[in-house]
């Protein structure tokens, strides 16, 4: 599912809302979440999960195909931890 799918689904669920308004709200929400994560803040959506930053230390990494080791810089990665309700729902559907 991508952003346009979310917008289309919201438009179906709420037919009284204008499609452009839904598009604007979804874009603003995602931008707000991105900005907060980039600034090191944690985002928690109850029942869904939490987004946060984790730091990857600098060090040597190895390319297994070429067998060459190169030095990598330290960096940050976005970490998602699913909530209990999401875990339960996924495990129920996966069986």
Tell me the backbone φ, ψ of residue 37, rounded to 5 degrees.
-65, -45
36 and 77 assigned to the same domain: no
35 and 14 assigned to the same domain: yes
1 and 34 assigned to the same domain: yes
30 and 67 assigned to the same domain: no
Tens digit of each residue's pLDDT (9 = 90 or more) over 71-81: 989 899 999 99
Residue 78 pairs in a beta bridge with: 53
28 and 46 assigned to the same domain: no
pTM of the entire predicted model: 0.76
Would you say the C-alpha torsion 21, 27, 31, 32 has a positive or negative sign? positive
The boundaries of the domain holding residue 61 are 42-95
pLDDT range class, residue 95, cuts 50, 70, 90: low
Tens digit of each residue's pLDDT (9 = 90 or more) over 3-40: 999 999 999 999 999 999 999 999 999 999 999 999 99
Q: Work out how many domains the chain is built from and give that number.
A: 2
- CATH number for 65: 4.10.520.10
């Amino acid at each position: 599912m991508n952003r346009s799918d979310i917008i289309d689904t919201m438009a179906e669920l709420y037919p009284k809302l204008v499609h452009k308004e839904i598009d604007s709200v979804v874009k603003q929400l995602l931008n707000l979440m991105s900005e907060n994560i980039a600034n090191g803040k944690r985002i928690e959506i109850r029942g869904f999960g939490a987004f946060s930053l984790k730091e990857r230390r600098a060090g040597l990494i190895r390319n297994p195909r070429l067998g060459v080791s190169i030095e990598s810089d330290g960096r940050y990665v976005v970490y998602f931890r699913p909530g209990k309700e999401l875990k339960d729902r996924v495990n129920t559907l996966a069986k």
